[in-house]
Amino acid sequence: MKNSIFLYSRLGVILLAVLSFAFFSASAVENNGDGEEISVTGEVLDMSCFMASGAKGEGHKGCAEKCINSGMPIGLLGSDGKVYLLVEDHKNADPYQSLKTMAAANVAVTGKYFVRNGMPAIVIGKVKKA
């Protein structure tokens, strides 16, 4: 009986250590690069159609323009294969607003990188056609 209690308490300590490691590792990854300035090149997406059906590219340009101009979120399919939500900088809205005319175009964006609940986003500071 004494050995059983010792074994269970030891397993509890090991389980607690593993769970703590997993939690703190996930937290570190989640906040990695928060606010770091990055530059990414890729295709401007309307996130609604891309997330719902994978729509992208020149063949989807007209629809993407309509969606973006009706207020759907804008994204970027980076040349690294990652999808970023693009966010307006409230102190400098012009670069983000210029993206509304660039659906399906390849652009280079620069801004502050954040990850919130697994969603990578860039607060746009600069935009230029790639």
- pLDDT the model gives residue 43: 98
Which helix (H) or strand (E) element contains residue 78?
strand 74-78
Q: How confident is the model at residue 3 (pLDDT cuts 50, 70, 90)?
A: low
Q: What is the pTM of this model?
A: 0.75
Residues for the chain: how many in total? 130
Tokens describing residue 54: 């994978």
- pLDDT the model gives residue 1: 55
**Averaged pLDDT, 112-122:** 96
Tens digit of pLDDT for each residue in 43-63? 999 999 999 999 999 999 999
36-129: what CATH class? Answer: mainly beta
